[in-house]
Amino acid sequence: MSIIEKAIEKLNADQVGKQDDLSNDFSRSLDSTASSQAPVKSNVDMQGQPIPPAFEQPEKLAPQNRTGKVVDLPLEHLKSLGMVTPDEPRSRVAEENRIIKRPLLMNIAGKGAAAIDNPNLIMVTSAQPGEGKTFTAINLAISIAMEQDKTVLFVDADVAKASAAALLGIPDDCPGLIDLLMNKGTRISDVLLHTSIPNLRILPAGHAHERSTELLASEDMQQLMIELAQRYPDRVIIFDSPPILFTTEAGVLANLMGQIVFVVAEKHTPQSKVVEALSHLGGEKVIGLLLNKSSNTRNGAGGYGYGYGYGYGYGRSQTGNG
């Protein structure tokens, strides 16, 4: 039985107390099944073409954005929702996210079984809405930003919904990713937001656009991904992606990612939907299944509906079985 089949089987199980065993099995599988391809060179795009000078300028990702604006994150509100915050590094949710991020960071550090192309590009997605992917993506971003040697760029790539902006206190009309791709004169430094968490940056979704799928599939987007991934090797980029089965943008983004965290809501997501969604991600991606809203969730985890009992597995998906 494959890793993904094991995780899917867990969706329909009523047993509790098995999370530690799943954690050990899946963490081991991550080390043994990582991609063996060599990293992409930073001066060429994903088709081997030279990157235009506009994307090679290091000031694009300078330590301070041009306006000097710092977003004061609503940490007390996030805490009330049961989310990770820097002032409670030993909370239950903080400990759980340490478990989730560990195999991801090991791959980034090159300590897996083999190299992965751009392992610091991490997409968080799900099969359908309401499974907790945005909540998971924000928690993961804050948790990694609490590492001493990492900076994190949180990218709101759910351009149709952009629900992360409301949670993070960012105005809906704030320019971001789509504006960067649509307007040739826009620089990363024009739309990159610094936050009250020193090691956390945010790239908002930007203004809605009817050609968002084409923009995300464009050569400019590919070059931007290389710039983000390789200009600063200590930076981890977390993408809050749209649900796989509800938009075409998620499949486009998946092709550019090094690692994918796939959120599955227990007793909410039909097995057939999980299998269908995973088939859209291809058979050569390193995919981690994170079981959310687990049946052994304890009281007091927060009002957002994010369950903290995980069945998660990191391994290569298999074509034909998800």
User: In the 3-class helix/strand/coil scheme, how is 4-48 assigned residue by residue?
Assistant: HHHHHHHHCCCCCCCHHHHHHHHHHHHHHCCCCCCCCCCCECCCC
Say if residue 193's pLDDT is above 60: yes
**Do 205 and 156 touch, CB atoms closer than 8 A?**
yes
pLDDT of 166 over the 70 cut = yes
Residue at 322 is within a domain: no
Look at residue 140 and tell me whether its pLDDT is greater than 60: yes
Inform me whether the pLDDT recorded for 316 exceeds 90: no
Domain extent for 17: 3-316
Evaluate whether residue 151 is within a structural domain: yes
**Per the structure, how many domains does the chain have?**
1
Mean pLDDT of all residues in 77-100:
92
- Residue 296 CA to residue 273 CA, distance in Å, equals 23
Assigned domain for 138 exists: yes
CA distance 16 to 8: 15
Mean pLDDT of 298-304: 39
- The per-residue pLDDT for range 257-288, each reduced to its tens digit, is 999 999 998 888 888 999 999 988 876 778 88
Is position 254 within any domain?
A: yes
Confidence band for 252, pLDDT divided at 50, 70 and 90: confident
pTM of the model: 0.74
What gap in Å lies between CA 282 and CA 215, rounded to an integer? 21
pLDDT at 25 (0 to 100): 38
| Three-point CA angle 240, 243, 245, nearest 5° | 155
Judge contact between 298 and 17, C-beta under 8 A. no
Q: Is residue 301 part of a domain?
A: yes
Q: What's 106's domain CATH number?
A: 3.40.50.300
Nearest alpha-carbon partner for 122 in 15, 106, 36: 106
Banded model confidence at residue 74, pLDDT cuts 50, 70, 90? very high
Asked if the structure places residue 321 within a domain, the reply is no
